[in-house]
Structure formats: structure tokens, C-alpha cells
Homo-oligomer: A and B are copies of this chain.
Amino acid sequence: MKKLMSNLSIDNVIFGFDTELKVLLVKHAEGISKGKWALPGGWAHSDESLDDAATRLLFELTGLNDLFLEQLKAFGDLHRFPDQRVVTIGYYSMIRTNEVKLLAGFTASDVKWVSLKSIQKLPYDHNEILDFGLATLRNKVKQEPIGLNLLPEQFSLYDLQQIYEAILQIQLDKPNFRRKILKMGFLKKSTIKQTKVSHRAAQLFEFDQEEYMKYKTQKFLLDFKT
């Protein structure tokens, strides 16, 4: 039997990437914010851990269940939620935009990807949560490899570079970026090459899962200026 924790909710910041960095928003189908676009979230249950609650809610809203959600922090300003005292725990993750199946019927009536550049005022403190998520992502990108969950199996180095550029909001030098990333050794050459592109076909790469995970746990410092 699922008992809601009436003063504790979860909000997920789900990043995606196609040509630019996007975030997943849902349109509330019920509750006091009915009709408004907001971060996908909901109430925590008393019979599940916070991590499980975040995973459950993400699944209910997007159909995804093999994602690694990482906690951002608790947001506990006194008046962040109207009428009631509610503390929310923020989580974030990254997924390929085309993996999200839009689900109707649950507490969300609609789901969409929104470019970070065109985000307007969100209800509650969702802008603050989103900003914190973005700051965390920017920090993350410098400490572990990123892209495994954002890119298809096969991708070019430029695809990866564009993710770094979108997240960090800077221009990177192509030759230097290539060398830096390849030297880390978590990419391996794919056997296939690009086709039907109106420029020289790029060597495609895949993530070397084992090396990728090694880097993810070991941590490193990756500093980018250009």
C-alpha cells in the first residue's frame, strides 16, 4: 500500500541533446498547477527510498526505466510551494531525446523537450532546480566522461564536441578536443564510417564501456578553455 509523503516530493531534471541542449517538461493534468509546463515530478511514497521514487516517477512519465538518476539536493525554501510546506528532492539524468516515449493518461497530459535557451518562467522553484541541475551538469562534464547516454551507439568526434560546447557554452578547438578526448582512451573506433554527408565522411566511434566506467569512477580533472 502506497502512502504519500504529503510534505516530500521529487522533481527530475532530464537533459537531452539533439542539435542543442534540451530539458524534458511535462504538462500537469491535475493539481494546483494544472495546465502548466513544469519539471516531471511527483510525491514520494513512504514505502520507497528517494532514489526509487525518482526512478518510479521518471518511468511513469517517460516510460524509461534503465536510467541512472543522480540526486541534486533538497530544495527547502519556506514558500517554494503554495499553501503547504513541501520539500522537494531534485534529481537529474541524461537521455537520448528520441528514447522518450510520450505517455498520456498519468498525471501528465503532455511531454516535450524544450531548448534551454527558450525556457521561460516555470512554476514553483523549478527554474532554480533547473539552474542547479545545469550547474551540476557543467561541473560533472569536467570530472567524468559524458555522452554515453546522450549519443547513439555510433557517433563522430564532432558530435561529442558539440555536446561539450552546448553544456559548457563555449567554443572548443577541434584539433585540441580530438586529441584530448582520444588520449583518455574510453572511445574506440567503430568499423563503419559516415555515409551520405556533404563533407568528408567521419570515422565513427563507440564508447568502450569498460574504460568508460573506469573513468567514471576514477574521476579526473578536465579543463577546457577553447
Interface residues of A (CB under 8 A from B): 5, 7-8, 44, 46-53, 71-74, 76-78, 85, 87, 89, 142, 221, 223
Contacts and interface: CB of A to CB of B under 8 A. Distances in A.
Contacts of A85: 5, 46
A44 B85 CA distance: 11
Contacts of A7: 5, 7-8, 46
A142 B219 CA distance: 13
Given A8-B7, A223-B221, A50 B71 contact: no
A101 to B, nearest CB: 28
Q: Ordered nearest first, which 7 A-B pairs have the shortest CB separation?
A: A50-B76, A74-B74, A46-B85, A49-B78, A74-B89, A49-B77, A221-B223
Contacts of A78: 47-49, 52
Per DSSP, chain A at the interface is mixed
A89 B7 CA distance: 14
Identical chains bound together, number? 2
A74 B71 contact: yes
Given A7-B7, A50-B87, A52-B78, 17 more contacts: A5-B7, A5-B87, A7-B8, A8-B8, A8-B87, A44-B76, A44-B87, A48-B78, A49-B77, A49-B78, A50-B77, A53-B76, A71-B73, A72-B73, A74-B74, A76-B89, A221-B223
A8 B221 CA distance: 36
A77 B48 CA distance: 8
A221 B78 CA distance: 34
A7 B52 CA distance: 17
The listed residue with most B CB atoms (<10 A of its CB), out of A87, A89, A142, is A87
Contacts of A5: 7, 85, 87
A48 B87 CA distance: 11
Contacts of A53: 76
Contacts of A87: 5, 8, 44, 50, 89
The listed residue with most B CB atoms (<10 A of its CB), out of A5, A8, A76, is A76
